[in-house]
Amino acid sequence: MLGTGPAGLTAAIYLARANMNPIVIEGEQPGGQLTLTTEVENFPGFIDGIMGPDLMDNMRKQAERFGAEFKRGWVTDVDVSQKPIKLHVNGLGEVVTESLILSTGASAKLLQIPGEQEHIGSGLSTCATCDGFFYRGKKVIIVGGGDSAMEEANFLTKFASEVTIIHRRNELRASKIMQDRAKRNPKIAWGLNKTPLEVIGDGIKVTGLKVKNNDTGEDEIVEAEGIFVAIGHTPNTAFLKGQIETDEVGYIQVKPGTTETNIPGIYACGDVQDDKYRQAITAAGTGCMAALDVERYLESVSNEWNPILSGVTEG
């Protein structure tokens, strides 16, 4: 199994509990996107909400309790052309498996504008929860008009003196409840209908964002010491190098109502195959589906392949 967000960990719980000996490979961000968030208020079962990292920690411990084995590594290559499937994992070597669950999630998108790359880590961030603390008493910008942008803007007002939301259109994409929360926050200023053009710095740190004001057609500089980009995510499927069917963006295609990919024995769950719902609870739900699909698959091929074969073959 690849990935340890809510999808991967739910699949691990189900497979471990069914004595299927899952090996879970966790990449650069164990626990996935929820480890970068604060309070999760809409995961059923937590009346007062739960902190994202705590939720993921609980899921991991639950999987470990049933015997799931966690390994840290970065998959650089896969060969899905025959069974067993082979993965090359940095730090682990070659891993072979009869069946594979892909739950590698999605990563934050960047604006792809001048000045952005050189300021990552020195004024430009994609994670308010991780970096907001560094902007105590400073002016910051959030780019984006979705729920993430609203949530992160509110969060940043705990630290920053002012948070300006820059969005390329007049209408926000965010849900009404999230919009209303942001609109009620007196520390949030609005820069609607403004398209980001360039991250401006003084050679060391960020000093502002150049934007095009789409009402006037003029360029403007919005001053800030920090810029947080919250414009959505890209599915983490580059390592598959085209061996599994995806859509044009890279989201893995699954057969409707299942987690089956186009390769028998390989299943996908969570945000890596979902550009629509993208919720922790839907990711967890598809993780459960993937585990059940794997169980049925291994039962169906058990005469040809031994499901216990999965394992690390070299260090």
Which positions lie near ligand NAP, rule CB under 6 A? 111, 143-149, 151, 167-169, 173, 196, 230-232, 278
Beta bridge partners of 39: 51
> Is 57 tagged catalytic?
no
Question: Which residue's CB comes closest to ligand NAP?
Answer: 146
Beta carbon of residue 270, minimum distance to ligand NAP (angstroms, whole number): 12
H helix or E strand, kind and range, residue 181: helix 176-184
Judge contact between 274 and 254, C-beta under 8 A. Answer: no
Residue 296, both tokens: 């049925």
Q: Which is nearer to ligand NAP, 97 or 236 (CB)?
A: 236
CA distances to 88, 136, 187, 255 from 266, rounded to whole Å, are 16, 46, 48, 12
Distance CA 213, CA 192 (A): 8
Q: Which is nearer to ligand NAP, 130 or 309 (CB)?
A: 130
Q: Which is nearer to ligand NAP, 64 or 275 (CB)?
A: 275
Distance CA 207, CA 131 (A): 17
Beta carbon of residue 279, minimum distance to ligand NAP (angstroms, whole number): 7
Q: Which is nearer to ligand NAP, 88 or 278 (CB)?
A: 278
> Is 127 tagged catalytic?
yes
Task: Identify the active-site residue in 130, 180, 215, 247.
Answer: 130
Instruction: Enumerate residues 6+ apart whose C-beta is below 8 A from 203.
Output: none
Beta bridge partners of 238: none
Closest among 109, 128, 111, 110 to 195, alpha carbons compared: 111
Beta carbon of residue 295, minimum distance to ligand NAP (angstroms, whole number): 30
Task: Identify the active-site residue in 54, 57, 77, 127.
Answer: 127
> Is 269 tagged catalytic?
no
Distance CA 288, CA 108 (A): 25
Distance CA 243, CA 262 (A): 9
Q: Which is nearer to ligand NAP, 189 or 263 (CB)?
A: 189
Closest among 102, 16, 83, 95 to 300, alpha carbons compared: 83
Catalytic residue IDs: 127, 130-131
